[in-house]
Amino acid sequence: MTELILASTSRYRAEMLSRLRLPFSSAAPLVDETPHPDEPPAALARRLAKTKALAVASQNPGSWVIGSDQVAEVHGAPLGKPGTAEAARAQLTAMSGQEIHFHTAICLSNGSEHLQACDLTRVQFRTLDAAEIARYVEAEQPLDCAGSFKCEGLGISLFEAIHSSDPSALVGLPLIPLSALLRQAGYRLP
C-alpha cells in the first residue's frame, strides 16, 4: 500500500483521520497561508489545501498526501485562527447571533494527480453575551481554531444549529468526501 501522509500537525485532523483505520504519518506543510487580495473564502480553503498537499508531496515522492484547510466566512470575509484570547473574544462577539459559513477543503495528491473536495458547513450561533464568551474562551482556549471554538468540546454549546452534509467537516477534515477520494486513489475502505 502506498504511504499515506497527512500534511498537517493538527491533532484534531490526526484524530479524525485515525477513524478511517489507515496507517498514516504526519508532516508539517510549511506554507504561507496569507489570503490573496479579494480571494473568496472557499477559494482560499481550496488553494491552501492543495498547496499544503503539494508541499509535502514534493518531499515524499510516491506517497499520497492529504492537505486540508478550513476558512470561516463572516459576511463574505475570511476569519482565521484568533491566536490570542482577546482576538477569540472579538471573533465570538462578531459571530453572536449570526450564521457563519465554514469552508473545509481537502486535496489528496501524489505530486502529479490531485483529487479535491470542499465541504460547506453553516453554523448558526446563538446570541452570546460578553460574560458567556469570556467564560468559554477561558475554559477552552480555542486560540488555534478557525472561528474561536471547538465544536467537539464545549464550543457546541455556542450554537443553535449546524447544517452540513458531513458532521466531521467542522472539526477540520471532512471524512465522507475524503473516504471517496481515498477509494479513488486505490485505498480499501469498508
User: Where do the domains of the chain lie?
Assistant: 4-184
- Is position 144 annotated as part of the catalytic site? no
Angle of the 130-140 helix axis to the 85-95 helix axis, nearest 10: 130
Question: In a structure prediction context, what are the per-residue pLDDT tens digits for the chain, which is 190 residues long?
Answer: 679 999 999 888 999 999 999 999 999 999 998 889 989 999 999 999 999 999 999 999 999 999 999 998 988 888 878 999 999 999 999 999 999 999 999 999 999 999 999 999 999 999 999 999 999 999 999 998 878 988 888 899 999 999 999 989 988 899 999 999 999 999 999 7
Q: Which residues pair with 104 in a beta bridge?
A: 70, 119
Predicted confidence at residue 1, as pLDDT, reads 62
Half-sphere exposure of 137 (CA within 13 A, CB side): 23
Predicted confidence at residue 171, as pLDDT, reads 87
Return the amino acid letter for 7.
Answer: A
How does pLDDT run across 42-81, given as a tens digit for each residue?
999 999 999 999 999 999 999 999 999 999 898 888 887 8
User: With contact defined as beta carbons under 8 Å apart, do 43 and 50 qualify?
Assistant: no
How does pLDDT run across 175-184, given as a tens digit for each residue?
999 999 999 9
State the DSSP H helix or E strand holding residue 102, giving kind and residue range, or none if neither. Answer: strand 99-109
CATH number, domain 4-184, options 3.40.50.1110, 3.90.950.10, 1.10.1200.10, 3.90.1300.10: 3.90.950.10
Max distance between CA atoms of the chain, in angstroms, equals 52
Q: How would you class 128 by CB atoms within 10 Å of its CB: exposed for 0-12, middle for 13-18, buried for 19 or more? A: middle
Sequence-separated (6 or more) residues with CB below 8 Å from residue 148: 82, 87, 88, 89, 91, 92, 95, 137, 142
Cα separation, 23 vs 178, in Å, equals: 15
Closest listed residue to residue 92, CA positions, set 141, 32, 42, 38? 141
Long-range CB contacts for residues 163-168, cutoff 8 Å, separation at least 24: 163/121, 163/122, 163/123, 163/124, 164/119, 164/120, 164/121, 164/122, 165/119, 166/119, 166/121, 168/16, 168/19
Catalytic-role residue among 32, 38, 69, 144: 69
Cα 99 to Cα 102, 151, 161: the distances in Å are: 10, 15, 9
